[in-house]
A = this chain, B = another copy of it.
Amino acid sequence: MTMPTFADDDALLEWVAQSLYTGVLSDACDAVGLRDRTLGPDIRPLDESRVLVGRAKTVAWAPMFHVPARPYDKEIAAVDSLRPGEVMVMAVGRSAEIVPWGELLSTATLARGGRGAVLDGLVRDSRRIRELGLPVFCTGRRPLDSCGRGIVVDFDVPIRVDGVPIAPGDLVVGDADGVVVVPRAAEAEVLDHAWTKVAGEDRTRAALRAGSLLADVFREHGIL
């Protein structure tokens, strides 16, 4: 089965959202030798029914314990430079004090065509974010403001979340099982593998549903 071609990146992102899912993308990363591309199990969707697909817009946070001069400069610059198709990916280091995401940033993200947010940190205004429909993946919620607790130190730079290196522009996919980040350089190969595997799964599933032994199914199809 041949991979489709896409008019633009937006079409590719939509196709990924419709045709693939995190499990098969993680398998495809494995297949090309990228074995550490899924974020850990603590980064969960606010709304499990939403799928997130976009390009990483990276942001690095630091703890801060007072209100410095011009506390918002880099945070504002990061949000205001967001481009359509992008996902805010924030390295917060699992701080329980910094809550960098809430309704206002969600609103601003949607207004710029942003596709969601992923952070190893907390969010607030979670019910309103869900109403807005923006897919957000985070480690939890707390009704705190970030001012005087954390600042953005850099953006559009390489970051790591849960040990996974993430570069600006990497393909970020999230669903009920978690988040996979596919590096740009390997993207075409990974998508191709994923597409092939999705096609094969239907036969395995049908055989198992019909009561075949796993041993026979594995012998015939070679996947488990």
Contact = CB atoms under 8 A, between A and B. Distances in A.
Name the residue among A27, A65, A148, A178 with the largest chain B CB count within 10 angstroms. A65
B41 A142 contact: yes
A86 B112 CA distance: 45
Q: Is the interface of A mostly helix, strand, loop or mixed?
A: mixed
Contact of A205 (B77, B107, B144, B151): B107
Contacts of A147: 30, 224
A153 B208 contact: no
Interface stretch (A2-10, A11-19, A154-162): A154-162
Contacts of A170: none
A122 B178 CA distance: 11
Interface in A24-38: 25-27, 30, 35, 38
Given A42-B140, A65-B159, A75-B224, 12 more contacts: A23-B124, A26-B144, A30-B148, A35-B148, A38-B143, A41-B140, A60-B63, A65-B157, A72-B218, A103-B205, A141-B177, A143-B177
Interface of A: 21-23, 25-27, 30, 35, 38, 40-42, 48, 60-66, 68, 72, 75-77, 79-80, 91, 93, 95-96, 102-104, 107-108, 110-112, 122, 124-127, 139-145, 147-148, 151, 153-154, 157-160, 163, 165, 175-178, 180, 204-205, 208-215, 218, 224
